[in-house]
Amino acid sequence: MLTGALQFNTSFFWHELLRPSSGFLGGLGRTVYISVIAQVIAVIIGLAVALARRSTLRILRSVAGLYVWVLRGTPLLVQLVIVYDGLAATDIYRFRDMTLLGISILASVQAAIVTLALNESAYMSEIIRAGLAAVDVGQNEAALSIGMTPAQSMRHVVVPQAIRFVIPPLGNDFNAMMKSTSVLSVIGVPEMFLITQEISSSTFHTFEIFLDAALYYLALTTIWTFIQAWLEAKVDRSWGIVRTKRSLLSSVRERFQDPRTLGLSRRA
């Protein structure tokens, strides 16, 4: 057993990679759905915050500014512990396991989704704000000139165009989000990292199992890279911008020269 821990166990590595345990798959699944749900909520809150920051009401602008300042200025890890343990310890709010549409959701998973969504919404609001600002002011004026209200112009003209500017940085953030789910282990969310740790401490095959985990994270972010490329092409097509058809190989090569694929992110 001791010698097994010192040298690379190839068969263990391949076995866990190709036929992962149901525990590991459960962790992988949680990593994915927590990221997706948190990102979707973050986009919605982020849009609201971005619009609030452009509001003519000063109080709304200030509150939104404060929100972004606080959430971007504190570490995700600290936010997690405050939301999950801090709120419970002070009896402000205690997350409890619950069942939603027949699916049971752990208390720690709920806290994780809430915290990741709030944290990411601050970054999304900045991305969306920049996206809205990138739409030429003439677009808003054209919408107003045909009798739209400012709200209609925002909805039918400005926001749809901002999407094109928002998708690339959003994709970058989602890539970071999937990887930052690994910090959820501190509040006991049984996602991929925590499960990997458990397998590691029960088998002592630390290197093998973490290498497997790394490959699974890499697979997730790579799949996302392709989905993002597809989304970007789809939006371009809806603007009448036709990209020349490329071979799969050349598009893969291009993707890998893209810094996003390397997972360069703002989260340390």
Strand spans (E) along 143-223? none
The binding track of 156-195 with respect to another protein, each residue x by CB under 8 A or -, is: xx--xx--x-------------------------------
Q: Which stretch binds another protein (CB under 8 A): 73-81, 115-123, 131-139, 170-178?
A: 131-139
Q: Which stretch binds another protein (CB under 8 A): 97-105, 142-150, 169-177, 219-227?
A: 142-150
* 9 is a site residue for another protein (CB under 8 A): no
Q: Which stretch binds another protein (CB under 8 A): 95-103, 111-119, 149-157, 255-263?
A: 149-157
Beta bridge partner(s), residue 104: 99
Q: Measured from the CB of residue 225, what is the shortest distance to another protein in angstroms?
A: 24
Which is nearest to 32 in space by CA: 199, 227, 198, 252? Answer: 227
- Tell me if 98 sits within 8 A of 113, measured CB to CB: no
Q: Give dist(CA 235, CA 212) in Å, integer.
A: 35
Q: Measured from the CB of residue 139, what is the shortest distance to another protein in angstroms?
A: 6
**Nearer Cβ to another protein, position 102 or 138?**
138
Rounded (to 5) percent helix, strand, coil in the chain: 75, 0, 20
- Tell me if 147 sits within 8 A of 69, measured CB to CB: no
CA distances from 114 to 35, 38, 172 (A): 11, 7, 20
**Nearer Cβ to another protein, position 85 or 141?**
141
Binding test (CB under 8 A) with another protein, winner from 12, 61, 139, 251: 139
Binding test (CB under 8 A) with another protein, winner from 100, 146, 248, 249: 146
Beta bridge partner(s), residue 100: 103
Q: Give dist(CA 232, CA 256) in Å, integer.
A: 16
| Binding interface with another protein (CB under 8 A) | 136, 138-139, 141-152, 156-157, 160-161, 164, 238-241
